[in-house]
Amino acid sequence: MKIKRGVVRLVNRALSHLGVVVTRLEQDFDRRLESPRHLAILFDELALPVEQWINGQRLFPMPNGPIQVRPEIERFYSEYLKSPFRGKFGGSRFNNLLWLSLIARAMQPTIIIDSGTYMGGSAWALSLGCADSPRYSFDLDLSMLKMRMPNVQYIQSDWTTLDVGKHDLSRGLCYFDDHVDQARRLIEAAERGFLLAIFDDDFPITSTAIVNRQGVSLPKVEFVLDDRLRSDKQLCWSEKGVQYVWQVDSAYLDMAKSVIAATDRLPDTSLTTGIQQTPYRIVTLRKPTATVLDARALQRSQTLGRRG
């Protein structure tokens, strides 16, 4: 082990001028509690804020009433340790996948849309919570998929290609982790009649994380909610000396905001588990008005015109 550490130090010294370091890849819970009493404390401390939020929220219906969160957390933890989704880099991790499973368990969606399959962790977690509803998982590239869940349809396409008209959308749930403009996803889900949308990677304008992928997934839901942006024309940032500019479209932000009936940020459980993640944004949707639909149709025609 000492020899390996010495080799890593030598390699990092050689790579330091490139701004690159080599670190050991670890999975979630490679270091974990084993004593039953302290594991019970972990589950208890996770359950308290989660159960308070789920059973006290008014964003989505719970057809079977309040749920018992503590045993669900213990079950999920056991399944997670056996899963292929514990990698440290890329994909969702324990805290957020737990939330997906518990929300699906409480809501019992009539249909689940998972946009951004990647390795399949979100489809797996949603299926653990609700295995009986129609489930669709979408990605433009399914080559990274590590596990296929029974009765989940994995589709290599954008989620809007699905004809949802044949489904009961009264408790429809969309999960978006696809690095696409989140205002667009809000409007698309509302247009199609979905009740609830959950967003990963939703950051405020102050966060350096917004520059990921040179800002191609802007605006975030936080941008839609931040009225301070309406008075600006541009959001500017630099990355390694390269300047980037995002043009503020206030009308587009207003269009997306109009379909938000209610919203909240899920409680952060990172301190309890030691696994750092940005908590999900959860949104209750309302049907767009005729004015919004007309504006959306105009926007589509202008976009098609520019591409042509």
In a domain, 3, yes or no: no
Residue type, 85: F
The answer to the question of residue 282 being in a domain is yes
Residue 158 is predicted with a pLDDT of: 97
Structure tokens at 103: 């929300």
Per the structure, how many domains does the chain have?
1
Tell whether 300 is covered by a domain. Answer: yes
Q: How far apart are CA 217 and CA 285, in angstroms?
A: 20
Q: Would you say residue 7 lies in a domain? A: no
Give mean pLDDT in consecutive 10-residue pieces for the chain, a chain of 308 residues. 52 52 66 91 96 97 96 97 82 91 98 97 97 96 95 97 95 96 96 97 87 78 94 87 90 96 97 91 91 68 43
Structure tokens at 203: 């950051």
Q: Read off the CATH number of the domain in which 88 is found.
A: 3.40.50.150
In a domain, 6, yes or no: no
Asked if 183 contacts 219 with a C-beta cutoff of 8 angstroms, the reply is yes
Question: What CA–CA distances, in Å, run from 3 to 24, 36, 301?
Answer: 14, 35, 63
In this predicted structure, what is the pLDDT of residue 212? 66
Does the residue 39 lie in any domain?
A: yes
Q: Is 21 within a domain?
A: no
Which structural domain range is residue 108 located in? 34-307
Q: Is 18 within the bounds of a domain?
A: no
| Residue 199 confidence (pLDDT) | 97
Rounded CA separation 224/275 (Å):
28
pLDDT, residue 21, reads 46
Q: What angle do CA 204, 181, 141 make, to 5 degrees?
A: 120
pTM: predicted TM-score of the whole model, two decimal places = 0.88
Classify residue 57 by its DSSP letter: -
